[in-house]
Copies of this chain bind each other. A is one copy, B any other.
Amino acid sequence: MNTVFKALSDPTRRRVLQLLQTGPLSAGDIGKHFDVSAPTMSAHFAVLKEADLIHAEKAGKSVIYHLKLSVLEDALLGFAQSFGIGEDTSTSSVKLEIKP
């Protein structure tokens, strides 16, 4: 969990996650969106991987990165909920109902 927040502390890494939100992308394709060298991007990917926020899939010459949304979700909502933010409605005085 600490690694997740460490990973999220850098704006470039947050933007990488946002990019990946729309679907998997190769390291190179991600890099095109940023004005930094490939090795620098590679280091960012390593941090995101360490935090388990992304997953790498080898495809020929390329490496395709996938966002692990559930890990991000667990960290973010887990922390938020420890502050009563983003409450689970099932424990409150309101009930959820499917609209007609």
Contact = CB atoms under 8 A, between A and B. Distances in A.
Interface stretch (A31-39, A56-64, A82-90): A82-90
Report the copy number of this chain in the oligomer: 2
Given A5-B14, A93-B98, 18 more contacts: A2-B11, A5-B5, A5-B8, A9-B9, A14-B79, A17-B83, A18-B82, A21-B84, A69-B83, A69-B85, A72-B85, A76-B76, A76-B79, A77-B80, A86-B86, A93-B99, A94-B97, A94-B99
Interface residues of A, number: 30
A98 to B, nearest CB: 6
Contacts of A89: 89, 96
A76 to B, nearest CB: 5
